[in-house]
A and B are shown apart, each in its own frame.
Chain A
Amino acid sequence: MADPVLSIQHLVKRFGGLTATDDLSLEVLPGELHALIGPNGAGKTTAIGQIMGEITPDAGRILFMGEEITRLSAPARVRRGLSRTFQITQLLEDETAEDNVALAVQARSGHGFRFWGDASRDARLREPARAALDQVGLPKARWAIPVADLSHGERKQLELAVALATGPRMLLLDEPMAGLGASESLRMTEVLRGLKGRIPMLLVEHDMDAVFSLADRISVLVYGHCIASGTPERIRHDPQVRAAYLSEEEAV
């Protein structure tokens, strides 16, 4: 078996009396699309926050490409190739879609202390940005629109484009389908399928159709603890998972 891209070992995070992450261990292998599922409040977003360095865990280790990154800041992790999308989109609302992506390209290039040239006319930023927008399938007509005027689905696409523009060696996707209509969901699923194999991904998602059609492996999180991990087939038939999660989901 190849060395894992990402390895989480015995991660613990408590908020007051609430244990949001409870001895969580997880591995993402090269090229793998690993889905993280679980009921609301299971601690999926908190886990992503810790992997990205936005939240400091109380215990445990995080290894990326074999290097321990547990104490690194979020920007340092991004520079090492981790990139995430947000469930509630975190975009620069006053800027256009293209500007948002171009800024991520610029961040990757690292040349931020340039005070003179007009960044909006810099082909070294614009071209990779357009490529990323193209890749996620945002129609060209929408590129020059301020983010505040984009639809929810378009914003979700843009989130992914921004994450891609940082040149990731791994993607953390926090509910990319949340709030999308059926056709939008399908389109997003196709975009992710296109990326699959090239970039390893950790996918947090409630849309079970998408998860089961995309994932190589699935881990199930309940109360911050991983109760099961395995192929979609195994997870589908895991009695514990059915009891804790799927049945509840069907009952709704």
Chain B
Amino acid sequence: MTIHRRGLLASGAALALAPLGLASLARPAIAQGAPLKIGMITSLSGPGSYLGQDIRDGFLLAVEMEGGKLGGTAVQVMVEDDALRPGQGKQIAERFLKNERIKLLTGIVFSNVLGAVAPDVLDAGGIYVSPNASPSNLAGKECHKNFWSIAWQNDSLHESAGQLATNLGQKKMFILAPNYQAGRDALTGFKRLYKGQIAGEVYTRLDQTDYAAEMAQIRAASPDGVYQFHPGGLGIAFLRQYIQAGLLANVPMTLASPSMDSTTLNAVGDAAVGINVTSHWNSDFDNAASKRFVAAFQQKYNRLPTYYGQQGFDTALAIGAALKGTGGKVDDTEAFYRAMKPANFESTRGKFSFGNNNHPVQDWYALKVENVGGKPALVTKDRVLTNHGDAYASQCRF
């Protein structure tokens, strides 16, 4: 009896201390003079995980192209999956910051995960360089010296689309987005620069996959054009159903880049010809950095890079420029800030600079889906906005 009991007590003790064991198990050994660690938290499971995959692949490609270095500093990128759950992302961030003593983090796709992770990173004195999500609070009132956005502030995507719709002379637009913060921001952003009339405004469900009801509403409203923002798989489903409903032939569609990337295009095929898109980058950009990137990405991963891939790549380049400036040090955030701010890197999108709030100031382009050599492709047309920052920069004081 006593033996049994002792066994039980021992197993109880083992369980109580299990977290310690687990934590040390999950840590790779740290060698002296090891490369600089960069923590990447991104979405690799669940719907929309291909976005995280492209960000990761683009980032790692930049590291590989420099032979395992960024800006001359050897780096080790630790990638973990947040499974699109804020809590999970936070847990990983905590481990990265405390156990791994990582100061430099990146990778998050979705703004709700970012909302949980960013305050922790910043309060702990870390630096976060965002390859995708950039919600308005972090660009405005709650902006931070150590928070950098490489892609765009969320609203800019939609502002450029609103401008394009105005430029195209569409007088009556029907606009749709999923019912979550980024979706609501999208429609607000679109309306900010759109001069015409809104024929209808519909919020879809984030877990919705069948849009038949919305198609009927659009048809009934007979607008001049449709603007919709549905990232990832949602956007693909929406677009296919739009085409299947025969709407694309009558009602042209304008999109921001997250709703029309090369994956979407593959999915939709020829039927997508004629769709208008605005973006800060496209794979046909005629600059050396972009060409080099597209060729390398295709060679390594055997697919055309999406915007997400490009954003991951540019994020790595931006970090590289900063590391070059600090000699590979990230401990002095003030020095890192000074080195990062000039954006001394050859961006794949050509012109790139940071605004006062550490968010990009860049040009936006109109793209159109056209048939190129028998296959639909996004073709860059004209510039929609020049040196466009964001609406929140004026509220930002470090």
Query: Would A and B touch once assembled, by the CB under 8 A criterion?
Result: no
